[in-house]
Amino acid sequence: MIPRMPNHPQNNPALLARSLSSVWHPCSQMKHYEDFPLLPIARGGGAWLYDYDNRRYLDAVSSWWVNLFGHCNPRINAAIGDQLGKLEHAMLAGFTHEPVVQLSERLRELAPPGLGHCFYASDGASATEIALKMSAHHWRNSGQPGKTQFISLENSYHGETLGALSVTDVALFRDAYGALIRQQATVPSPDWRKAAAGENAERYALRCADALELHLQQHHAQLAAFIIEPLVQGAAGMAMYHPVYLRRARQLCDEYRVHLIADEIAVGMGRTGTMFACEQSPPPQPAPSQALPRKERGSGITPDFLLLSKGISGGYLPLSVVMTRDAIYQSFYRDETASGFLHSHSYTGNPLACRAALATLEIFAHDNVLAANRGKADYLNEISIPLREHDAVRNWRNTGMIWAFEVETTQRDFAQRCFALALEHEVLLRPIGNTIYFMPPYIISKLEMDLLVNRTLHIVNELS
Ligand SMILES: Cc1ncc(COP(=O)(O)O)c(C=O)c1O
């Protein structure tokens, strides 16, 4: 007999009332739900979410940037179903299983070269914690126990557990916990919106890299790692920057012996147009006498740690992974227990989540998703000309399958008003301040892109 869900009335108001009386919702001032009610979701399919009145909402933010191939994707459903009949979970300390091994092998093939081992957890913030701990522990194992500080970019976001908050530069999320957090330094963000008049994105990124160099010169002896969100700083309002910064950051971290942590939790898994954003770093500029033909120069960088989560399971199950450079792994490989990485989470490497991730990678390969996304991005850019040329729209920008712009507005509570109005127009948008962004699932169709852009144009007209 299949255990049934208790039989409650299935309608929007009933679920809202029960949720408010029993669930503490994330990233929320709960009282605000008095004016801006929660959205009850009854089911999902493709790029759409549906409530109990069968009203539909186009999920233009991929349910907090996690969903890649639509809700209730039949192929991912089938993979999880198959795994359910074999093994739902087994602890990973002292045990192993096929899905976690296969996923680690596949990720090693796909990731920048030299990232040989995968360490698993369940969410993005845990991946950040793991990378910070591993970095400092590596230096300790290597006879440099004084390297315990970290730096991040201005307006960075790496999660909200205490360690992750220490490298997250968002006052709203940090201030209440200031006394609990170990303060870490930030360096200027290469976000091109901050460039001086007449300065292009590349030159501004290089100027920011100079500031990074100065910081490294002064503090490298205490620094374990520099953590960045490659190409796009999501929570900063989809701040985008020139890839030359990645190359300079890699060179400088090598020069000053500081780890580079690439937090690709939001931007990995094809989101920026390549499987991993780090691949887009331009090749190093050789001295003129050593110049090689372009095709012989490799592009892309290998970070010391690569963090993945969100889209890795197709948006199905909590899964995160920290991929590490081989030399770092080797520094932990000793006889003494205490030199090992003794970090754990109960659900590390959960087989169901790994199968969802393997199915996700299979879809990437089988459907040639990165090429298809290039066509989709071109189409969305083409149809959005009236939106980007709107009088109230500023800083239109696009990287891969991420679009963002600011709206010039005098509306107070712009983000909440925009969210509510968008729902009336069947679109799920979740602005950050006055920044509207699109981060749709990759299965979005042309018709759905038309709808998204046209409805957003109406919303901007109403709110500007
Ligand atoms: C770049 C980045 N790092 C870390 C995190 C934290 O991930 P999680 O919310 O799964 O803890 C996020 C979440 O948005 C993120 O965007």
Residues in the chain: 464
Residues with CB under 6 A from ligand 1: 123-125, 128, 157-159, 229, 234-235, 263, 265-266, 309
Which of 120, 238, 310, 321, when mutated, tests ligand 1's pocket best, judged by the most ligand atoms within 8 Å of its CB? 310
Q: Say how far apart CA 62 and CA 320 lie, in whole Å.
A: 17
pTM to 2 decimal places: 0.96
Catalogue the E-assigned strands of 401-445: 402-407, 427-428, 435-438
| CA–centroid distance, residue 129 to ligand 1 (Å) | 11
By C-alpha distance, which of 306, 301, 282 is closest to 205? 282
Q: Say how far apart CA 125 and CA 132 lie, in whole Å.
A: 11
Q: Say how far apart CA 304 and CA 142 lie, in whole Å.
A: 15
Which residue, judged by its Cα, is nearest atom 16 of ligand 1?
Answer: 266
Which residue, judged by its Cα, is nearest atom 7 of ligand 1?
Answer: 124
Which residue, judged by its Cα, is nearest atom 10 of ligand 1?
Answer: 124
Q: Say how far apart CA 1 and CA 165 lie, in whole Å.
A: 46
CA-164 nearest atom, ligand 1 = 4
- Alpha helix stretches (DSSP H) within 192-303: 201-219, 244-255
Which of 128, 265, 271, 402, when mutated, tests ligand 1's pocket best, judged by the most ligand atoms within 8 Å of its CB? 265
Cβ contact 326:114 at 8 Å: yes
Q: Say how far apart CA 309 and CA 319 lie, in whole Å.
A: 6
Which of 66, 122, 158, when mutated, tests ligand 1's pocket best, judged by the most ligand atoms within 8 Å of its CB? 158
| CA–centroid distance, residue 334 to ligand 1 (Å) | 32
| CA–centroid distance, residue 222 to ligand 1 (Å) | 26
Which of 61, 64, 157, 227, when mutated, tests ligand 1's pocket best, judged by the most ligand atoms within 8 Å of its CB? 157
By C-alpha distance, which of 243, 252, 248 is closest to 281? 243
Task: Please list the pLDDT of the chain residue by residue as tens digits (464 residues).
Answer: 777 777 787 899 999 999 999 999 999 999 999 988 899 999 999 999 999 999 999 999 999 999 999 999 999 999 999 999 999 999 999 999 999 999 999 999 999 999 999 999 999 999 999 999 999 999 999 999 999 999 999 999 999 999 999 999 999 999 999 999 998 999 999 999 999 999 999 999 999 999 999 999 999 999 999 999 999 999 999 999 999 999 999 999 999 999 999 999 999 999 999 999 999 999 877 665 665 554 444 589 999 999 999 999 999 999 999 999 999 999 999 999 999 999 999 999 999 999 999 999 999 999 999 999 999 999 999 999 999 999 999 999 999 999 999 999 998 899 999 999 999 999 999 999 999 999 999 999 999 999 999 999 999 999 99
Cβ contact 173:162 at 8 Å: no
CA-159 nearest atom, ligand 1 = 6
Q: What six digits make up the tokens of 100?
A: 């976690």
CA distances to 12, 324, 420 from 355, rounded to whole Å, are: 33, 21, 36
Helix pair 74-84, 351-366: axis angle to 10 deg: 150
Q: Say how far apart CA 158 and CA 235 lie, in whole Å.
A: 9
107's enclosing H/E stretch is helix 98-110
Q: Say how far apart CA 233 and CA 266 lie, in whole Å.
A: 9
Cβ contact 123:320 at 8 Å: yes
Amino acid at 44: G
- Alpha helix stretches (DSSP H) within 259-350: 326-332
Q: Say how far apart CA 57 and CA 64 lie, in whole Å.
A: 14
Amino acid at 163: G
CA-126 nearest atom, ligand 1 = 11
| CA–centroid distance, residue 124 to ligand 1 (Å) | 5
48 forms bridges with which residues in the sheet?
45, 58
For the chain, the straight-line distance linking the first and the last C-alpha, in angstroms and rounded, comes to 56
CA-64 nearest atom, ligand 1 = 14
Contacts of 81 (CB under 8 A, 6+ apart): none
Which residue, judged by its Cα, is nearest atom 13 of ligand 1?
Answer: 159
Cβ contact 48:59 at 8 Å: yes
Q: Which position has the token pair 């963090």?
A: 307
